Structure 1
Amino acid sequence: MPSVMKTLKYYDDRGFSQLYIYPSDKNSVNKIFNSCEIVSIKVPQIFLKQKILKSYHLFNKSRFLYFSFIYTFKIKRIVKNFNPNLIYAHLQYMPLTAYFLFQRKKPIFVRYYGLVDTYKYIANGGFYRFEENLIPFRMNFSGYILVNDGTAGDLVALKRGVKKEKILFLMNGVDDYPILTEKEKGDLKNSLNIRKDKP
């Protein structure tokens, strides 16, 4: 089960109603589990290609602009009558979209994943430094849920300036997997050039 579905199922089992919106190559509305509505919004296929997402191509920059503005207007129609207790926003662009739609009226939690690759992008590219660092980490969201298959993402977030009390480090959004050993965390910190005594 993909990590996103695992998280949705986890909270559905606990009685929460959820609205999950994601970009796709077609528009659709479906209901899964007990009370989880899944809405896909059609976007240009060029913006769905992972090869572009992981490059410094011009399309990557236009992708950022598209998701930050046009995509936000598309979502606004869907959420106009939706009154959530909180917003759970995936990177790469959704934290900014969530901010535009709800601002400070609702708590916004950012789900950050793929931290090792992102750290490399931040280090190597100015545009990624703006896109992946300034926006999610400097806008002072309510909290950060760091998920990955064992990359010690909490250490990366601390290095990027997130306050420790705002970090929840889970595996796939549900804390039911073993966390990295101290040696594995140490090896990862070394690979990211993070000092062991001062993350």
Structure 2
Amino acid sequence: MGQLHSAPSSYDKMISMPLVDNIGATLKADLDVTKMNKYLHEYIQQEVSLAKIGDKMKQLNQKGTLVSLQIKKSMRFSHMYLSSKKENLIDGAVIIFDRAPLNVGGGYDTASGKFTCKDDGLYFFTWTTLSNPKTDFTSALFVNGNGIAENIVDNDETSDAMTGSSSAIFQMRKGDVAWIGVVGTEGMYIRHTWTKGIPASVFTGFKID
């Protein structure tokens, strides 16, 4: 048997194959392998592409896992509320929201009522207070003792309870401390709920950047 001979082209259209018959005479057969080579070429290309896609997916999965871990590590989110009414609060008193169903990152302390910044960044704070009928209530967000935003429930002339809300965005550094405090003498009484025990006086803070 001899070697295969082919003419150069994109898929080697024809090959010449030496043959030997039963009496030893040399014969030659020309075979058209265009389709076979084309299919073989496409199959190899497909397998190479699938291998590359598989490697790329592994890389993306590894990067995605890393990003997910980084997000979880840097996440800071706290949501607190009062579990009971507060009375006889004096000017400057810290309003201690003593229940924290969400405290991702552990920044809020339910004993002191203060949020301690764990990472430098931009933080968003919002809080709502519920006053008694015909009772005002004034509070403010403090960071390191400095007043940032005030919340006034002007309710001295209505016969129903009333809520007031306020929000602020503040650039904080690691170790900074934020809390909600009473302002003046119009903050002696704050309700924790109005109906069915649903929290009405709440405090939320989280890192946004």
What TM-score results when the alignment is normalised by the length of structure 1?
0.23
The structure in which a higher percent of residues are helix is: 1
Question: Greater relative contact order: 1 or 2 (C-alpha under 8 angstroms, separation 6 or more)?
Answer: 2
Rg comparison, structure with higher value: 2
What TM-score results when the alignment is normalised by the length of structure 2?
0.22
